[in-house]
Amino acid sequence: MLSFPDARRKVIEVVTTLVRDGRISQSVALDAALGRVLAAPIAADRDYPPFNRATRDGYAVRSSDLREAGAVLRLAGEIRAGQEFSRTIQAGECVQIMTGAAPPDGADAVEMIEYSRVVASGSAALVHFDRAAKTGQNIVPRGSEARAGQTLLNAGARLGYVELSLAAQVGCVEPEVWARPRVGILSTGDEVINAAETPGPLQIRNGNSFSLAAQVDSAGAEAVLLGNAPDEGGELKRRIAEGLKLDALVLSGGVSAGKYDLVEGVLAELGAEIYFDGVAIRPGRPAVFGECGGKPVFGLPGNPVSTMVTFELFVLPALDILSGTEPRPLPLLRAKLGAQLREKPGLAHFLPARIEWTSGEPVVTPVRWQGSGDVVALASANCFLVVHESKLDSEVGEWVDVMPRRGAL
């Protein structure tokens, strides 16, 4: 059985080889581009900043006039952001300036308003400066952040809030992005019914299709809901074959050791190459990963917490690669343990837990749970405490790994 880092590496290695040319790109409106992956770079349309920019409210001065503290300069006017000052300032002059405005010709420094005071007003206004000024202070020179034509975002960059702001600032209002991979979601199980239906006493409403769709969509891919298949070979095979027409397929349920856990066998019948069918983790041990007709296919265990954890560990990096970007690293934090740990050997454990910073230090404490079916417990957690196989026992105050629950932290 693979460890979870090895299983993840395997997914990344295999899916990287599956990605072929012929990917489709499209331009999208910037306000609909959150989470999309650039198919073409975005360059600076002009220098940034486009002019020397004052970074403080204060006075534009010639630093040669403020070699020492206590200088007094003649106030020659004011410059608001977006306005131009029409003339060069002369020796002995200063101009009041606002953050974001361009200092006038002749000025090479801005002194903060906090270090200056008007000592005479009216037509002969004078400003006293409490300290000396250095050349260039409180001015960001034109082109110092980026030069016109310089690439600011490479193809393959995912558009988050930072990238969207940058694209907007350089006037790229319709970026070229890759089409999102379409990911089929097929739950399995004779007992599983649509959430809108009324369950019989032994039936279970389908939660996994909802969590998986949310995980797919929030990963920047497009979820395609394929419903629920019964634990019956013929029908399961037909539904899986249908799902494999999409860019990737994620199944839930039917991968454990039970007599009616048919998913892996059906995948094999369809000619899938199975790369792993077990990972040394709890929850999620029976997770299956394979490739069928050039498409990645995942058989995730049906217990909801297992489904969720194995998606984050194994499906997410695959979707990144299919989306045209680098697989995101596993986002592990470190925190101090809030309760003693004694976990069973042979597996790594992902325990629903809460991380808090109330004491000024990150402290993580597992929540009480009933195992991998317990979504109620997971809803009160904001992370998973990661207990590695190599260190199953830990004491209060020891540093441990934490995997944030996406959306909750």
The residues of the shown chain that bind Mg ion, judged by CB under 5 A, are 189, 253-254, 302
Instruction: Tell me whether residue 253 or residue 296 sits nearer to ligand AMP (CB atom).
Output: 253
Single out the residue of 61, 365, 35 nearest to residue 215, CA to CA: 35
Cα gap 27→33, rounded to integer Å: 9
* Interaction of residue 52 with ligand AMP, rule CB under 6 A: no
Residue 404: strand pairing partners: 383
In contact, 151 and 216? CB cutoff 8 Å = no
d(CA 264, CA 250): 12
Q: Would you say 177 and 39 are in contact if contact means Cβ atoms under 8 Å apart?
A: yes
Q: Tell the smallest beta-carbon distance from residue 364 to ligand AMP (Å).
A: 27
212 binds ligand AMP (CB under 6 A): no
Under the criterion CB under 6 A, does residue 362 sit at the interface with ligand AMP?
no
Instruction: Tell me how many residues contact ligand AMP (CB under 6 A).
Output: 20
Residue nearest ligand AMP, CB atom distance = 302
Alpha-carbon distances of 315 from 57, 207, 391, 395, rounded to whole Å: 50, 18, 26, 32
Q: Does 187 bind ligand AMP (CB under 6 A)?
A: yes
Angle (nearest 5°) at CA 388 between 383 and 389 = 145
d(CA 213, CA 355): 26
Minimal distance in Å, beta carbon 370 to ligand AMP?
Answer: 12
Q: 182 vs 205, which CB is nearer to ligand AMP?
A: 205
Q: Does 215 bind ligand AMP (CB under 6 A)?
A: no
Sole window of 30-38, 187-195, 332-340, 345-353 interacting with ligand AMP (rule: CB under 6 A) = 187-195
Least gap, CB of 260 to ligand AMP (angstroms): 8
Q: Is 303 in the site for ligand AMP (CB under 6 A)?
A: yes
Residue 243 contact partner, candidates ligand AMP, Mg ion, none, CB within 5 to 8 A by sort of partner: none
Work out how close the CB of 242 gets to ligand AMP at its nearest, in angstroms, rounded to a whole number. 18
Chain positions 257 to 296 lying near ligand AMP, rule: CB under 6 A, are 258, 261
Q: How far apart are CA 37 and CA 160, in angstroms?
A: 9
Nearer to ligand AMP, 204 or 250 (CB): 204
Determine which residue in the list 206, 323, 382, 394 makes contact with ligand AMP, applying CB under 6 A.
206
192 binds, among Mg ion, ligand AMP, none (CB under 5 to 8 A by kind): ligand AMP
User: Which of ligand AMP, Mg ion, none binds 382 (CB below 5-8 Å, type-dependent)?
Assistant: none
The contacts of residue 132 (CB under 8 Å, 6+ apart) are 66, 67, 68, 69
Nearer to Mg ion (CB atom), residue 184 or residue 302: 302
If binding is defined by CB under 6 A, does position 25 make contact with ligand AMP?
A: no
Cα–Cα dist 117/110, whole Å: 14
Rounded (10°) CA dihedral 109, 112, 115, 119:
80
Give which of Mg ion, ligand AMP, none residue 208 binds (C-beta under 5 to 8 Å, depending on kind).
ligand AMP
Residue 315: Cβ-neighbour burial (10 angstroms; 0-12, 13-18, 19+): buried
E-only strand ranges, 20-105: 25-27, 42-43, 53-54, 58-61, 72-79, 93-97
245, 293 in Cβ contact below 8 A?
no
User: Which of ligand AMP, Mg ion, none does 304 bind, CB closer than 5 to 8 A by kind?
Assistant: ligand AMP
Q: Which of 207, 220, 290, 362 is the binder for ligand AMP (CB under 6 A)?
A: 207
In terms of Cα–Cα distance, which of 328, 315, 322 is closest to 288? Answer: 315
Q: Which of 103, 184, 243, 253 binds ligand AMP (CB under 6 A)?
A: 253
Q: Which residues bind ligand AMP (CB under 6 A)?
A: 187, 189, 191-192, 204, 206-208, 252-256, 258, 261, 301-304, 373
